Amino acid sequence: MANKPFSFFPLPWSGPVNQDLLDHWFSPAVTYNFAGDATIEKQVVESVASYGRQIGWLNEVVLALADGKTPPPATVERMRQAVKEVEALKAIHASSAFADATDALARLKKESPRNYDRLLLTLMERPGGGSEPAQA
């Protein structure tokens, strides 16, 4: 502190300045009305392939087919790998949702048996009697 006599008075730009102020403007954080699960869509874009990359692969394949050519094998393989990764993400989320629902039902049964019974009756009144699994 002897070398910095005014260290008690922080000046502008005197600390870490690595905050990205424009990140939200240039990131792929655009909100759309997804047909699927927005959480899964976000993870796909962040960890599998960006929208641009996915569209690029599709363009390569479609244009090759339109020209009567065989699509580039490397592109087709990248698409196959992306499909596997997306299916893995969906499986993780499905098992997580099932676990969350199971935990919520157990908590509801413990904390509010009357509401638990009411929920079960409501589910059983649905077409099919609730005995058939829902289509995913």
Q: From CA 65, how far away is CA 62, in angstroms rounded?
A: 5
User: What number of residues does the chain have?
Assistant: 136
pLDDT for 114: 95
Token pair listed for 11: 């000046």
pLDDT for 3: 61
Q: From CA 30, how far away is CA 99, in angstroms rounded?
A: 29
pLDDT for 112: 93
For each of the chain's 136 residues, which pLDDT tens digit applies?
A: 456 665 566 666 665 555 555 555 555 555 555 567 788 888 888 889 998 999 999 999 999 999 999 999 999 999 999 999 999 999 888 888 888 888 899 999 999 999 999 999 998 888 765 555 555 4
Domain extents for the chain?
Answer: 35-124
pLDDT for 82: 95
Distant-in-sequence, close-in-space partners of 82: CB < 8 Å, separation ≥ 6 = 48, 49, 54, 57
pLDDT for 64: 97
